[in-house]
Amino acid sequence: MKYHDTHFHLDLMPNPIEVVKQIEKSKIYTIAVTNSPEVFHYTESIAKNTKYIRPALGLHPELVGERYKEIKRFIELIDRTKYIGEIGLDNSDKPLSDYKKQIEVFEKIIASCADYEDKILTVHSRRAESDLLDILGNDFPGRVILHWYSGSIKNLEKAISRGYFISVNYQMTKSIKGQKIIDCIPSNQILLESDGPFISRGNNKFTPMMVNIVLDNLCVLKKSNNDELKNIILQNFYDLIRDK
C-alpha cells in the first residue's frame, strides 16, 4: 500500500521540479492543488507524464475577491482533470462583499462539477462550514474532501454522514482542537495531507515525502493497532479515486 497526499501546493515550493522527481521516486500519490486556473496550467505541465501526481484545478476562496472573474476560465478548463481544488469558502475577517463573491463562485463551481458526476474535490471551509455544506447539498454526485477542517463537531458529523473524507495534516495532530476533530472522524474517512508549504516541522516545509509523520501521529491519537489503522487510512485513498 502506497502513501498519499491529498492536498499539496506543488507550485508554491521553491523547487517544484525537484519535488516532482522526489514524489515519483517515493511513489506517493499526490493531489497537487492550485490557487487559480492560470496556475493549473503550470502544475499540469510539470506533472505531465508522471505516474503519481494529479494536478487539481483550483480557485482559492481567499483570492476570489480579486480574481472572481477567473471563474469563466475555471469552467473552460474543468474537463481537463478529475481533481478540483483548492476551492471553497473562507469567512475569516472578510468583508461581506468579498464573501458574497466567494459564495457566488463556489455555487458555480459546484454546479459545474455536479454535471460531471465524478469530480474529486478538496475543499477549504474556514468559518464557513454551514454555508459550504448547504451549497454542496445532500446529493452532490462527486467525492468531497474537507481539507484541514476546523469547524464545529455538529457540521463535521453532517459531513461524515454524507460520506465526505476529512484530510488530516501534521498541525491538526498537534493542536487540541485538531485532536478533538480527529477523534470524531471514522478511520475509513480519514485521508492524509501535507498542505505544504504552509505547514512546517521545525525548519522543514511539509512535502508528500513527510506524510508518514502524519500517519504515525494518527495511530497514537486513535490508540489503534498501528498496522491495521495504517492499512485502513492508506486504503481510503483507493476508495476515494475508484470509479463508482
Instruction: Please report the pLDDT score of residue 186 as a whole number.
Output: 97
Task: Please list the rounded mean pLDDT of every run of 10 residues in the chain (244 residues).
Answer: 96 97 98 96 96 98 96 97 98 93 98 97 98 98 98 98 98 98 98 98 97 96 88 97 82
Question: What is the C-alpha separation between 32 and 195, in angstroms, rounded?
Answer: 10
How many C-alpha atoms does 81 have within 13 Å on its Cβ side?
26
Instruction: Please report the pLDDT score of residue 42 as a whole number.
Output: 97
Tell me the three cell numbers of residue 53: 501526481
Q: Judge whether 24 and 50 are in contact, CB under 8 Å.
A: yes
- Omega prior to 95 cis, within 30 of 0: no
Instruction: Please report the pLDDT score of residue 36 as a whole number.
Output: 97
CATH of residue 23: 3.20.20.140
Instruction: Please report the pLDDT score of residue 225 as a whole number.
Output: 73
Domain that holds residue 146: 4-241
Identity at 160, one-letter amino acid code? I
Instruction: Please report the pLDDT score of residue 244 as a whole number.
Output: 65
How many structural domains is the chain composed of?
1
Instruction: Please report the pLDDT score of residue 243 as a whole number.
Output: 79
Helix-then-strand count for the chain, H and E:
11, 10
Q: What is the 3-state secondary structure (H, E, C) of 134-148?
A: HHHCCCCCCEEEEEC
